[in-house]
Structure 1
Amino acid sequence: MRRPSMRFAALALACLAGLGAPAAAELSPAEQQMSETVDAEYERTISVLENLVNQNSGTRNTEGNRAVMAMLRPEFEALGFAVEIIDQSEVDRSGHFFARHEGREGGTRMLLIGHTDTVFEPDAPFQSFTRNGDSATGPGVVDNKGGVAIMLAALRAMHAAGTLEDANIVVALTGDEEDFGEPAEIARRDLVEAGQWADVALGFESLAIMDGNDMGTIARRSSNSWQLTTSGIQGHSSRIFSERAGDGAIYEMARIISRFRAELPEPNLTFNVGLIAGGDTASLDEQGVRAQATGKTNIIPAIAIARGDFRTLSDEQTQRVRERMEAIVADHAPGTGAEIVFDQGYPPMAPTDGNRALFERLNLINADLGLPEMGLLDPAMRGAADISFVAQYADALAGMGATGEGSHGPEETMDLTVIPRQATRAAILMSRLAAETR
């Protein structure tokens, strides 16, 4: 269960009420030093990023992910973190990088989340970092190696200013965010335990920008998959729709999918059919991404299979949508059968008062830095992420990482100028939280 966050929310509201619209540049000497450190280490941060990007770490590249973790170990150990590589061979994945820093007793417990893996495996043609002035292209440069570099820059700034000493922080960099191992109970066990420990979770996935403005993320939708199998009575097509032959498996599949489209829509819900096959035979491969089918125009099909996903903003919405889908599937056409099975991937990160309070704290920092006020991003604009696994336990704020364009594509490009403002925001937010007693 989520721990109550009313004290945190009340504190943020009190700050807002007492200060009104905060004046710019209201930074403490330590905060000013953090800003200066981030600026001074700009090229160093880019150099770290280049090294990370040039090491392939596709999700299935165990050695590559371990190499990235080996690069990061001395960086975190130099800041006083104890580093552990958590084995995940049980679920056929590279493992997780966890770094722990023990600070002041009773201080805010913070969980920083990112990942080392990318969608680009060793056989992908896109393999190297290329800088073009204030931008850089490369596999994972935004998602998520840019976010990891920004996280590290923020922690180095805190160390230089002396604010890291009191901070209670766990850094969790998963090695399989792009395609986590199954079952999730094992693959995300350590992350969930860290979330249960934490008061605050900060996700260093990409910063969203809309119309040129930085946006805050206090909610992300879930990612749930489903597989639907329909059956019919195979026979001569001239008997289709008769009492004895029924409607056949493909018509039953079409009926169900059509009703999904007509009856499921509601706010914050999307649902998709990604793969479909049917005929007198139909099957999927082990990963469920390729289909085979046989059939003839004059044979009533005996089987049809479809796979898809749906995305929701809360566990309650997930359960409600599942029940509606199951009811539609159960309402069979004549002479047919149907079964639907679900697999919940990423849970939702629902918008909460605690998340909103964290976001208000971030906007206070924006005012102190002389940066524009951030708006809230529509959760429909974000995909799922690891922070969702811990959002039910801790107040959560996502989008603390890099920004750019073309993520997951062969022209993935990062705007390097985001490093100073994102790292400085994060360093000041974590320092202020570390100074509080929870």
Structure 2
Amino acid sequence: MLKFATAAAAVFFLLTDVAHAQLSETEQRIVAAVKQRTPAALELLERSVRINSGTLNPEGVRAVGEIYRAELDALGFKTRWIDMPPSMKRAGHLVATQEGGQGKRVLLLGHLDTVFEKDSSVPLWERQGDRVRGQGVNDMKGGNVIMIEALRALKKVGALEHANVEIMFTGDEERTGVPLQMARADMVAMGKRANYALSFEGSIKRDGVDTASIARRSHGSWTLHVKGKAAHSMGVFSAQSGYGAIYETARILNAFREQVIEPALTFNPGLIFGGTDVSYNNDTATASAFGKSNVIARDAQALGDLRYLSPEQGERARQKMQTIVSTGNLPGTSATISFTEIYPPMPPTEAGRTLADLYSKASLDAGLGRIDIFDPSLRGAGDVQFVAPYTVGIDGLGAQGRGAHSDDEDLEIASIERGAVRAALLIYRLTQSASR
């Protein structure tokens, strides 16, 4: 709490200092440097998008990483590749560091992988007027390019040399490697060193206004196992034969729906299967079941996700769900539930709100309009959540597009320049503030 209070105060005074300022001479040159690179930035985006980098295509992920690594090397960053164990079946992460020795420490986050694997039928790159359709063009190679172009503009005007900036491009954001603690250990260490974390997932427009995120809900899973008595269906509902596993599964899921509802909390049963015998293959996310309509189901399973905004809300939800599973079981049945947290929650903080105000001020000063805070219940999970307990974070600084994760994922080309201008000004103002 002390760190958050200190951070909030620091951002407040920084915001106060620039509250009545427009762009300084240096900031005007930063904006000009971004705009001068607009055609080249689109070319950089195209080069990276034309390489398939689905999470399970480690060669493609690394190839995209090498493109960005060359750009960062040219900007004077010290770059390195962090390999993951072969058993994890992931490409690893690209890390870059600029130790300037003064000002606040800023951590920048992106990811190299996409949801589109090598067998995807989605075109790699398809120009459509002022938009581009392609694999990961919005989520999040557009954001990666915005980050690099913002840093390039700072470098050109001499504002990067003394800044303290660390960068991590993960190679498994879409399908995180296991064990999770190993996959994100380096990121957490970087987060603990940073005063601010800026993540470049796609920006979202709501009611005509651009937004950013200072809160993101957790991403976790739950597995429900239910047992009944296999018997002839003529005895269903009797004391001897019971109700069977499928009826008990239905009771439990409906009780979840009726009793566990809270604002910003969701729990979705994405797969249900039951019968006399059932099995599930985690590698292929497929289930199989054997059963007959005249036999009471002996086994059933339900797999779902769980999303919450704070650790306290998550604990309440788990306790309520556990109580429903373990009490009030239908005759002849029993059930157990297990939980796994993949992405921790990122609850809103005052420090985060103040950082969002500073980002909005940079946008307004550049003539690009205000930035509103996005409703976390309308967004999924992201890497910034792993560092949120240790620093002040903001997400959604990337490109604007439509249909992320779908066959029609696209990007508004003009959002690359807008995003790079905003990010460059924010990074400049943060790194020019006093050291802690």
Q: Does 1:197 align with 2:196?
A: no
Q: Which residue of 2 aligns with 1:406?
A: 403
Q: Does 1:346 align with 2:343?
A: yes
Separation in 2, partners of 1:167, 1:342: 42
- Contiguous gaps of at least 5 residues in structure 2: none
Separation in 2, partners of 1:286, 1:140: 25
Aligned residue runs from structure 1 range 83-122, under 5 A: 83-88=79-84, 89-105=86-102, 107-122=103-118
Q: Which residue of 2 aligns with 1:374?
A: 371
- Report the residue type matching 1:398 in the other structure: D
Q: Does 1:387 align with 2:384?
A: yes
Deviation at 1:72, TM superposition (A): 1.4
Q: Which residue of 1 aligns with 2:420?
A: 423
- Report the residue type matching 1:4 in the other structure: K
Q: Percent identity at matched positions?
A: 44
Q: 1:7 to 1:173 in 2, by over 3 A?
A: same
| Structure 2 residue corresponding to 1:58, chosen from 39, 51, 54 | 54
Q: Which 4+ residue blocks in structure 1 deviate beyond 4 angstroms?
A: 14-20
Separation in 2, partners of 1:216, 1:140: 19
| Structure 1 residue corresponding to 2:222, chosen from 197, 222, 226 | 226
TM-score (norm 1): 0.95
Q: 1:29 to 1:90 in 2, by over 3 A?
A: farther
Which secondary structure does the structure 1 equivalent of 2:3 belong to? coil
Residues 226-246 of structure 1 show CA distances to partners (whole Å, capped at 9, x for unaligned) of 110100111122222222222
Deviation at 1:12, TM superposition (A): 4.2
- Report the residue type matching 1:5 in the other structure: F
Deviation at 1:197, TM superposition (A): 1.4
| Structure 1 residue corresponding to 2:122, chosen from 123, 126, 138 | 126
- Contiguous gaps of at least 5 residues in structure 1: none
Aligned residue runs from structure 1 range 287-302, under 5 A: 287=283, 289-302=285-298
Separation in 2, partners of 1:421, 1:3: 35
Q: Which residue of 1 aligns with 2:181?
A: 185
Contact 1:126 1:139 in 2 (8 A): yes
Q: Does 1:334 align with 2:318?
A: no
Separation in 1, partners of 2:278, 2:95: 44
Residues 245-271 of structure 1 show CA distances to partners (whole Å, capped at 9, x for unaligned) of 222111111110010010011111111
Separation in 1, partners of 2:389, 2:36: 37
Q: Which residue of 2 aligns with 1:9?
A: 8
Contact 1:216 1:376 in 2 (8 A): yes
Residues 344-372 of structure 1 show CA distances to partners (whole Å, capped at 9, x for unaligned) of 11111110111111111112212321232
Separation in 2, partners of 1:91, 1:320: 32
Deviation at 1:7, TM superposition (A): 3.5
Q: Which residue of 1 aligns with 2:314?
A: 318
Which secondary structure does the structure 2 equivalent of 1:299 belong to? coil
Which secondary structure does the structure 1 equivalent of 2:137 belong to? coil
Q: 1:269 to 1:228 in 2, by over 3 A?
A: same
TM-score (norm 2): 0.96
Q: Which residue of 1 aligns with 2:257?
A: 261
Which secondary structure does the structure 1 equivalent of 2:238 belong to? coil
Deviation at 1:16, TM superposition (A): 5.9
Q: 1:414 to 1:325 in 2, by over 3 A?
A: same
Q: 1:126 to 1:98 in 2, by over 3 A?
A: same
Which secondary structure does the structure 1 equivalent of 2:139 belong to? coil
Separation in 1, partners of 2:260, 2:47: 46
Separation in 2, partners of 1:285, 1:12: 48
Separation in 2, partners of 1:299, 1:401: 54
Contact 2:7 2:392 in 1 (8 A): no
Residues 30-61 of structure 1 show CA distances to partners (whole Å, capped at 9, x for unaligned) of 11111000000001100000000001111010
In terms of mean alpha carbon deviation, does 382-391 or 288-297 score higher? 288-297
Aligned residue runs from structure 1 range 147-296, under 5 A: 147-287=143-283, 289-296=285-292
| Structure 1 residue corresponding to 2:25, chosen from 26, 29, 47 | 29
RMSD of aligned alpha carbons:
1.6
Which secondary structure does the structure 2 equivalent of 1:341 belong to? strand
Contact 1:275 1:289 in 2 (8 A): no
| Structure 1 residue corresponding to 2:76, chosen from 80, 84, 87 | 80
Contact 2:246 2:274 in 1 (8 A): yes
Contact 1:113 1:173 in 2 (8 A): yes
- Report the residue type matching 1:372 in the other structure: G
Residues 205-238 of structure 1 show CA distances to partners (whole Å, capped at 9, x for unaligned) of 0001012210121111111111101001111222
Which secondary structure does the structure 2 equivalent of 1:164 belong to? coil
Contact 1:196 1:393 in 2 (8 A): yes
Separation in 2, partners of 1:343, 1:68: 31
Deviation at 1:17, TM superposition (A): 6.2
Residues 289-311 of structure 1 show CA distances to partners (whole Å, capped at 9, x for unaligned) of 21111111221111101101111
- Report the residue type matching 2:242 in the other structure: G
Separation in 2, partners of 1:128, 1:192: 32
| Structure 1 residue corresponding to 2:300, chosen from 283, 304, 309 | 304
Separation in 2, partners of 1:175, 1:19: 37
Separation in 2, partners of 1:231, 1:180: 31
